[in-house]
Each structure stands twice: as structure tokens, then as C-alpha cells.
Structure 1
Amino acid sequence: MTLPATAAPAVTPAPDERARAVVTGIGVVAPSGIGVDAHWRTVSGGIRRTGPITLFDPTGYPTRVGGEVPGFHPAAYVDTRQLVQTDRWTQLGFAATALALADAGLPARAPDPYAWAVTLASSSGGNLFGQRELQRLWGGPSRTVGAYQSIAWFYAASVGQLSIHHQFKGPSGVLVAEAAGGLDSLAHAVRTIRRGTSVVIAGATECPLSPYALACQLRSGLLSAVDEPAAAYRPFDRAAGGYVPAEGGAVFVVEEREHAVARGARIYGEVTGWAATHDAVHTGPDTAGDPATYARAMRLALARSGSTPDEVDLVVPDALGVPRYDRSEATALRTVFGDRPPPVSTHKSLTGRAHQGGSALDVATALLAFHHDTLPASAGPVEPAPGCELGFLRAPRRPEHRVALVCARGFDGFNSALVLRGAVPTPRNATD
């Protein structure tokens, strides 16, 4: 059948490799606080925000310390209908997205829906919602679950709810790569921008703090069993003994540069390079990740960004806090940077490890460091473990080239690296 001229199929334009993707808005909802200012105060002040888990009673579990978002009230960001339909993880995403849009000076509803998109990362979906419903199924007299059980736990629920609420009708999706996905979402946002979308919401939030979620994490043998928050999570340190789980994360407004400039938007920085590799090895009691494959992701990201290793002002590592993984990551960094390691700064010991949300939070830290013209001191280690001797920042300093390399690894072999070039900071208005 021959189609009439008026019904000719649309032709998808070729990607514009010259299109540049910049970050114009940051929304943080994490143990470090709600909003970019609270997060920066935590990071720059080295303030520990982990403590005893309160979202449920962790008595009887070997891990009882976590990172929770302080003072988070979902009703401030989510209406009554959405509260009933969603898990806390999605509610954190609603809050972070609202903050990011406001920070970027954009409306809550997309004025051109098909030019706006959302691509987030997720590890395990709606744990608290799912557990509550399953307990009702097996422990209650009704032997039923609510109607929203079928969607609230689903790992794509946040993307779906946000796309409906904000009218993001452009090419949207969800990425699953454990902690590496928070970086992958930004890389995918750049590709989406180059295919013609003007605005992409990217990043990740998590909420892995429930009995079921904690039991799943404990099975890996990688969690800390230390009850003292100050000693529980110590990446690259001689005393390292596992990570502390956390909720929250960060969401970003990624925008085509000319679109941002035309509306006079403040620009935090540009995503200039990225890469992802895979070890093809299951995470087990004897694995530590392949440093060569991890280093390849870093090198590819730098090469694609047009940056050289000696231009990197800051490396924000994955910092799992498990000795063999820390040594493996240090080996990968030495492979890329040789005997001249760049400044390394990590703050996960302050907040806990929020999986995909944690790597997104690391991106927020790097962009805010350039925005404040200050590379923050690392929150550790106190005494580097053998094989983990890197260039940890012991005091704040000013950046020179305004280039950051953010690295993340996900369980079962995911490796990702992202290169950011910070914009020259401009004074913020008192109302910003």
C-alpha cells in the first residue's frame, strides 16, 4: 500500500554530535540534607549524617547503621493520590525533581512535552511498599495486596510517575546497573540531547532501607557490622570493613546548551565524556572487580571528553569501603594516572552508600565544587590501607582546570566513569 504524502512516516533526524549537554539544575534529597545548600554544607564541613536506622527496627540484623534523609515529609512534594500509589523511593524522586526544576528556573510542567524527557537509574525499586503489601498478603486476614502493588515496587515506577506528573513525553527510560547507573543516566541524557531533545531529567534516588532490602544486601557479605557511625564506613582506610546502606540521591536538569543560553540559565557544568565497561563476573565473597576493565572505562571517558589525565582536578571514586574492592579501585586509578595521582575526595562515609543514588550524589558534589570554586577535603581515610595510597585531599583547594572524573562500580561487574567540566562560577542572587 502506498501512503499518501500527508501520511508519510516521520524521519528521525541523525544525532547531532556537536550538541552540548549542560547541567542547569540540581536537586538533592539525601542524608546530607534536602537541597544543594544543605548538601554542600555537609560535604564542605565534613559532617557525618549516618546513624541508627529508624525506618524500621533493625534489632537482630548485623547491620544497624544507615543513612536516612533528615526531615523528609513526602506530603510536601507529593499529592494524596500519588502518596497512595508510590514507594518512598519514588517520593524522594518527586522531591529531587521538583528541586532540580526550581533550581534550573524551569516550570513544573513541560511547556513542550515532547521536547522534555526523563531517564533515571534504579537498583531495586519500591522495597518498603512491596514489603508492606506482602506482609499484608501473608500475615493479614484479608490475604490481599493493594491495587498499586503491581506498579509501586517496579523499578521503572519513578520514571513513569514523573513523566505523567511533569508531562515529560520525550524519549524516556530507566537504567539498571547498581551504583554505576547514576552515571549511566547522565550519559544517556547526553545522547538524548544529541538526538534532538531539549531537556532531560537524569540522576537517581534509592531507598534500600527495609527488612527485605537489608537482608538482600547482607547476603553479599559487603555491609559493615560496626554499630558506631563514625567507624562503620571507612573507604580506603586500614579499618575498612564494609559499607553502610543509605537512601536518597540527586536529580539533574540536563539541557541542550543553546537552549539553556537562550533562556539565560545558570550553568553548573557540562558532561563532556563517559564510558561503561563490564567485568562479566558475579560479585561474590572472593571477587574484587577487574581493575583493568575499570581503568578502561576511565580512560575512554577521558578520551571522549578531550581531556588528559593531568587536567583532572578531582576524582570522586566509588569508595565501597570493602578492603579488596578499595585496593582494586586504587589500582585502576594508578593505571590511569600513573605516579601523579590527581586529588581524590570521597564523602560516602558521611552519608552512606545509596547505590545508584550515591553515584548521582557524587556528580552533584563535583558540580557544586566547581560552582563554589572549592574542591572539598576528603572525608577520609584516616590511615590509608596498604595499596590504597592515593592523593586524598586533606584540605580544600581551588580547581585549576575545572575537570572532574566521577567513577562508580555496580555489583556483578558494572563499571562507569563520567567526565564533567565545571563552568566558571558566577555570583548567585540572594533569591537563588
Structure 2
Amino acid sequence: MAETSHKQPAEAWITGIGLASSLAEGLDAHWDALAERRVNVDTTSFAPYVVHPLAPLSFDKQIPKKGDQRQMEAWQRIGTYAAGLALDSAGIKGNTEILSRTDMIVAAGGGERDLAVDSAVLSSDDYGNATPGALNERLMNDLRPTLFLAQLSNLLAGNIAIVHGVTGSSRTFMGEEEAGVDAARIALARIAAGQSDIALIGAAQNGERKDLLMLYEFGDFNLKDSYAPVFARGSKGGFALGSGSAFLVIESRAHAEARGAKPYARLTNVVADMSRRRNEGDVTISMQRLWGQLGNVHDDAAIITGATGAQPVTAEEVDFLRAQSGHPVRATGTSFGHIMEAQFPLGIALAALSLSRGALFAANDPSGLEIETSKAPDQIVVIGAGHWRGEGMALVEAVR
């Protein structure tokens, strides 16, 4: 009987990183901001809610056509900008041959509402001026074809394709934080299986939105009145929405080496779960299970978590983290705010950046959960637990 041959999974390298956030744009500026423990927070513009506003960007640098900029809402501009930074970082910006077969996986929410139209419709109805069929008429006449009270979720991927020429296969995942986990998980699985050579993944959010704050206020998730680091928000908790975007170029090692690209890090594994969250401790159990599925995690591996600050999920995540006491922890929500779908890609981006620079960025938390370390990490585990549903982990490793 002939032996069955088993093809080894392709190794996946992270070769491009694009970051635009409340702290800065670009890798050097972000590294400096993290070293300085900088936090950009606004407690007045949307009071009583706390938000992390986007740092100033010159969108012309990555979206040169004003017409393209005008037809995008803020979340699309932010994401398209960061995607361009990632393509630049990977050295494939403008390379039509590679871009034509670069797959794209975007995690996205439902898009931004047109508050002016919403307000006009509600006011007309409130004052008794609405005629039969008035709502349908307003929707047909006041909203652009790309809107359905909000925006189409796949418009970010569409604009990246138009502006940057990324025209391989395209997928858009919805599902808040877990969508960001699945974007990374599916990209890695496709590359490992040889179904894809190179992929652009990521997400974006405009957190400076009254409609979004109202949405999460219905669930009592928003951080109110004053800012505090994620692990110092007490039993009430809450998240501070942030504006920002994280995009990554992930490709097979063979593809990267063939074009002479250098890796920031290796994406070794991504695992996901969705605990029922019916009983206390369900999230802790889910994270313990995921940790066991990651593979060989070293005793001194670092942890970067997208902990939201919302309760009770953050308290259960803290229980898990305290059980991993030998691993230095960093929470992205403290410095960046909570950028929902982009939080997990942000964690992977910061892990790859840290591994490439041979250091973990500074602790920025008074609770004692984050500790300083001078040891250069060779592994970083990225953790994401959604404020309402979904858990995920990624193992990112140094390439020596």
C-alpha cells in the first residue's frame, strides 16, 4: 500500500502593519506613545461618556482623491488609511501584480447612521406632520444608495479595493470583537492550507458617534464621567469607545521570501470560542480551554489583551490572567480605548511590533496586574473576550 503524504501547513508571516488610532499614526509614533504611557481621552465632548478621539490624520496621504474621501464616512476613511499604511509597511503598495491576488478579510460593524435624516424623520412624526408613506419617501430621497439607515458593512473592503487596488477575494465578517478574531483565524487557516499566499486583514471604528454611544448605553456598557485604566474601573466597569484602525498583511513564508520581504513576526495559531455565559466563570473556563489549544506556550510568554473593562466579562478575564501570573500582561483598552472589531487585530499588530523590536511596551495600569519586564519576549499571546459574546486567542512568535 502506498504511503499517504501529508503536506506541512505553510508558515504564516506578518509582513505589514498599519496603525491609526487615538495615540498616533504609524509604527514609530505608536511605539513612542506607548513608551511614554500616553493616553488621549476626551471626557467633555460626549459627556458623560468617555471616548478616545482619533489623532489628527492627513487623509490625503493614503486617499489622494477628494471624491473618494467625500463618499466615505469616518470609519471607512480611517480603515482605508490604515490599510494603506499596512500595504506600505509590507512593501506591496502599488504592486498591481501582488495586489491583484491579495485576499482581503475585513471585520466591520453596521456602519454609521445619518443622524440628520434620523432627526428629521422623528421630528416630522413627532409634530404630526408625517403623511402616509412619508417614511418610505424620506428614505428613498434623503439617503444615498449605499445607505440603509446605516451603511453597508462591506463598504470598507470596497473602498480599500478602489483606493489601493486590492482585488483578490474579499470577505467581510460582522460580529463585533469576535469578527476581528475570525478575520485572523480564517486568514491563517487559508494560508496554512495553501489556499492563499497573501492577505490583508483588519478593521476600523469611529468611536466619536452619538448613535454608537446611544446603542451601547442601552446595554449599560459605556464608561461614564471619568477615565480610568481598564483594570482599575471597579465593579461597575464599562468601556471607553475609541477611534482607530489596525490592518495587517499576512503571507506565507515562501511567498514573503520569494519577494525578499522581512517578517515582523510569525502568526502561529488563532483559536476561538463562544461560551454560553450563563453561569459565573464561563468566560474563565473558555479562556483556559483556548489557552490549552494554542500549542507550546512558553512560561515567560507575554500577554496582550483587548479586555473591554465591561463587566462581568472583564472580572472573569482577570481571574484567568491572575492564574497566568508568570506572564507579563498589557491591556490595549487602557491606551487605545475599545475599538470593537479592530481590538483583536490591534493586539496582533502590537504583538508583532513588540517582537520585532525585542521588547514589550511599558505597563500602564495601577492595579498591579501589569508588571514591568526587561526581558525580550519570543512569544506573545493575544487575547480577546467580547463585551457580550465571543472569546479568542492568537499565538504570535518571533522569527529569528
TM-score between both structures, scaled by the size of structure 2: 0.86
Pairwise CA distance, 1:203: 1.6
Pairwise CA distance, 1:91: 0.7
- 1:130 corresponding residue in structure 2: 114
Equivalent position amino acid for 1:280 in 2: R
Q: Does 1:253 align with 2:249?
A: yes
**Distance (Å, rounded) in 1 between the aligned partners of 2:230 and 2:301:** 21
- Rate the CA distance shift 1:16–1:413 in 2: closer, same or farther, 3 A: farther
Equivalent position amino acid for 1:414 in 2: G
Equivalent position amino acid for 1:267 in 2: P
Contact 1:180–1:415, Cα closer than 8 Å, also in 2: yes
State how many pairs are aligned.
379
- 1:267 corresponding residue in structure 2: 263
**Distance (Å, rounded) in 1 between the aligned partners of 2:358 and 2:224:** 37
- 1:150 corresponding residue in structure 2: 147
Contact 1:408–1:415, Cα closer than 8 Å, also in 2: yes
Residues 30-429 of structure 1: matches in 2 within 5 Å?
30-52=21-43, 54=45, 58-59=46-47, 62-63=48-49, 65-78=50-63, 79-108=65-94, 110-112=96-98, 115-122=101-108, 124-127=109-112, 130-135=114-119, 143=138, 144-150=141-147, 153-193=151-191, 194-227=193-226, 232-237=227-232, 239=234, 241-281=237-277, 290-300=283-293, 302-303=294-295, 307-310=296-299, 312-322=300-310, 324-334=312-322, 337=324, 340-380=325-365, 382-384=366-368, 390=369, 392-393=370-371, 395-400=372-377, 402-424=378-400
Pairwise CA distance, 1:200: 0.4
State the secondary structure of the residue aligned to 2:266.
strand
| Deviation per residue, 1:43-94 (Å, 9 max, x gap) | 121111122465xxx25xx31x211111124344332332232211111111
Equivalent position amino acid for 2:177 in 1: A
TM-score between both structures, scaled by the size of structure 1: 0.80
- Rate the CA distance shift 1:139–1:94 in 2: closer, same or farther, 3 A: farther
State the secondary structure of the residue aligned to 2:312.
helix
Contact 2:101–2:167, Cα closer than 8 Å, also in 1: yes
Pairwise CA distance, 1:323: 5.3
State the secondary structure of the residue aligned to 1:267.
coil
Contact 2:313–2:387, Cα closer than 8 Å, also in 1: no
* Aligned sequence identity (%): 21
**Distance (Å, rounded) in 2 between the aligned partners of 1:269 and 1:38:** 19
**Distance (Å, rounded) in 1 between the aligned partners of 2:30 and 2:6:** 35
Stretches of structure 2 that go unaligned for 5 or more consecutive residues are: 130-136
Stretches of structure 1 that go unaligned for 5 or more consecutive residues are: 1-13, 385-389, 425-432
| RMSD (CA atoms) | 2.7
- Rate the CA distance shift 1:216–1:288 in 2: closer, same or farther, 3 A: farther
| Deviation per residue, 1:359-381 (Å, 9 max, x gap) | 2222222111112111122210x
Equivalent position amino acid for 1:325 in 2: V
**Distance (Å, rounded) in 1 between the aligned partners of 2:123 and 2:69:** 23
State the secondary structure of the residue aligned to 2:167.
coil
- Rate the CA distance shift 1:53–1:155 in 2: closer, same or farther, 3 A: farther
Pairwise CA distance, 1:103: 1.0
**Distance (Å, rounded) in 2 between the aligned partners of 1:299 and 1:334:** 16
- Rate the CA distance shift 1:180–1:217 in 2: closer, same or farther, 3 A: same
Bigger Cα displacement from structure 2, 113-122 vs 144-153: 144-153
**Distance (Å, rounded) in 2 between the aligned partners of 1:288 and 1:221:** 21
Bigger Cα displacement from structure 2, 233-242 vs 131-140: 131-140
- Rate the CA distance shift 1:112–1:239 in 2: closer, same or farther, 3 A: closer
State the secondary structure of the residue aligned to 1:236.
helix
Pairwise CA distance, 1:120: 1.3
**Distance (Å, rounded) in 2 between the aligned partners of 1:15 and 1:82:** 47
